[in-house]
Structure 1
Amino acid sequence: MQYNETELKTIANAPMMAGMAISLVDLGIVSTAIEAAALGKEFVGVAKKYPNNSLIQTVFSEENFKSGVIKPEKPEITPEEVQSGALVDRAIASISEAITILTDRATPEEIQEYKQFIYGCGEAVAEAAGSGLFGSGSPKVSEKEALALSRLKTALAI
């Protein structure tokens, strides 16, 4: 599978946007930092989690990260997008764009695992920190996060 640099970035951006959308539906200074670390951990571990998925091995290879082809970048996000829920819509649009690129170039199994990875990013973020000042409270997954995860799951058809 060969992807150009723009396609690689689009495919890599979708799970990043999903994780960030979940993180920002329920803002907290400490919890957001904990959630960012959880998202990073998902990216670092994806190649090991899906060792037989050539799509994931190609896009999320250590080589692509080291060379800077895949460089997780924080997208510009407005407070209005966060408050209105439009950030989740933006993440879903990003996912749709990535899936469109993959439709004729990856196997259905590879795409399904990629979708699971995207959802896993959102889920890891939601479960990383709870309520309260330092993110150590209960429940871990807020109502807003649960709703956003549900929207992601529906969009991913998983």
Structure 2
Amino acid sequence: MTTQPEYTETELETLRQAVIMSGHAVVFCEFAIVSMGIEIATLGKEITGAVEKHPDSQLIQTLFAKYANGKEPQEKEEPQTEVSPDAILESAVSLIRKALAILEKKATPAEIQEYKEFTYGCANSVAHAAGEGLFGIGDKVSKKEAATLNVLKTTLGL
């Protein structure tokens, strides 16, 4: 069983950010104001509900306890980075790779699989949250979202 002292705060933040950026990669793969709002809200619900949905996962508990019950921690100011769909997806892929490298050294195979599935599940929930198009009334998962999910799934080794 994984416990927090096995991870540095920097490692924990990398693990958290890989999940969050994976969701953002789906949200920002195409621009649609209404859909983006719904998808961002869905990602927030996935993150804030993680502790409740995964009560037996020490890793998920450790990573997302501070987000439980909608209590998002105060984020520190990050330097501005390019905000294009490709840049966000590239950042998500890079963070996933870093996260998996951390987990390979410190987590059990079951915890690694659970983390992979949780990360992909969050992104998948975002993709299914709203439909395609300006008002989100088209197909639930657009071609761009499906392509983004495929990249994430491949990177996660699922």
Other-structure match for 1:89: 90
The residue number in structure 2 matching 1:108 is 109
d(CA) in 1 for partners of 2:127, 2:79: 19
Aligned twin of 1:156? 156
Q: What is the DSSP-based 3-state SS (H/G/I as helix, E as strand, rest coil) of the residue aligned with 1:78? A: coil
2:60 pairs with one of 56, 62, 87: 56
- 2: distance between equivalents of 1:88 and 1:24? 9
Q: Offset of 1:71 from its aligned partner? A: 4.5
- Residue 47 of structure 2 is matched in structure 1 by 43
| Superposed CA offset, 1:88-119 (max 9, x none) | 12211101111111212111111111111110
Matches within 5 A, 1:4-153: 4-62=8-66, 68=73, 71=75, 76-79=80-83, 81-82=84-85, 85-135=86-136, 137-153=137-153
8 Å CA contact 2:26–2:149 kept in 1: the answer is yes
TM-score, reference length from structure 2? 0.85
Structure 1: state its 5+ residue gaps.
none
Distance between the aligned counterparts of 2:97 and 2:110, measured in 1? Answer: 17
Q: 1:59 Cα shift?
A: 1.4
Give the RMSD, CA atoms, in angstroms: 2.5
Deviations 1:59-103 (A, max 9, x none): 1114788594x8598884524x32xx2321221110111111121
Give aligned pairs, total. 153
Q: Deviations over 1:8-31 (max 9, x none)?
A: 211110010000011111111111
Instruction: Write the letter of the residue equivalent to 2:114.
Output: E
Distance of 1:31 and 1:63 partners within structure 2: 23
Structure 2 segments unaligned to the other structure (5+ residues): none
Paired amino acid for 1:48: E
Deviations 1:18-53 (A, max 9, x none): 000111111111111110000001101212222221
Q: Which amino acid aligns with 1:147?
A: A
